[in-house]
Amino acid sequence: MTLRISNLGKHYGEAPVFENVTLDVQSGEFVAIVGESGVGKSTLLNCMAGLDSWDQGTVTHDGTDIGALDGEACALWRRKHVGFVFQAFHVLPHLDVAQNVSLPLMLLGQKKDDGRVAHMLDAVGLPGMGARLPQTLSGGQLQRVAIARALVHRPALLLADEPTGNLDPTTAAKVMELLIGQTREHGASLVLVTHSESAAARADRLLHLTAAGIRA
């Protein structure tokens, strides 16, 4: 399972967001991406998940050409293979915490697995909080719900946008262990966008995104 990004370029009108982004991420590999605010890190992660379009280049995952999929096929691919921790969490407000975390399993048509959901909530330090509504949680707690949701179906491609941005150092370290565990033990490919030096220091490779491309 290799994520392969080749010569990717994206523009808004005349203005390029990024160009010439070439990057391979192997199964079991953890790549961290840093870069200034507004340089296109979230946009690049969205492209990796087929959640945004691009103007040049290709994104393939395990041989699947993501840009060639239509909307529905892309949604099905994403459902099966991708875990995404969004910068703004996108925890659904009308579902409780346990329902949010079990969403990927539900979409995959898997049997309700309360044990697995409870295990994930324990793992992110939210034991017993499954029945709470998102509006009753702190920012860091919401972020951890988003992380549990991204991991619950053991995705092969794990894309995390500032997943420790709202967490204290101890909780952040715990969450990093979880993301890295999915990578090392289950052979996921982890791409993590971060401003955290300690999170980036754990990566196999640290890459800098600039308007001109991506480099070590």
Residues that bind Mg ion (CB under 5 A): 41-42, 87
The answer to whether residue 37 forms part of the interface with ligand ATP (CB under 6 A) is: yes
DSSP result, 18-58: EEEEEEEE-TT-EEEEE--TTSSHHHHHHHHTTSS--SEEE
Question: Minimum CB separation from ligand ATP for residue 115, in Å?
Answer: 35
Given the DSSP bridges, would you call strands 189-193 and 157-161 parallel, antiparallel or unpaired? Answer: parallel
State the residue for tokens 């941005």.
Answer: 165
Tokens at 79, concatenated: 């459902």
Please select the residue that binds ligand ATP; options are 3, 19, 21, 40, rule is CB under 6 A.
40
d(Cα 60, Cα 5) in Å, to the nearest integer?
A: 7
- The window from 31-39, 58-66, 71-79, 184-192 that contacts ligand ATP (CB under 6 A) reads 31-39
CB of 129 to ligand ATP, least distance (A): 27
Among 2, 64, 87, 99, binds ligand ATP (CB under 6 A): 87
User: 3-state class of 85 per DSSP?
Assistant: strand
196 binding ligand ATP? (CB under 6 A): no
80 vs 195, beta carbon nearer Mg ion:
195
Cβ 1 to ligand ATP shortest distance, Å: 25
Binding of residue 88 to ligand ATP (CB under 6 A): no
* The pairing of beta strand 56-61 with beta strand 64-65: antiparallel
| List 24, 38, 122, 169, residue binding ligand ATP (CB under 6 A) | 38
Sequence-distant (≥ 6) Cβ neighbours of residue 147 within 8 angstroms: 85, 124, 160, 163, 175, 178, 179
What residue ranges bind ligand ATP (CB under 6 A)? 12, 17, 35, 37-43, 87
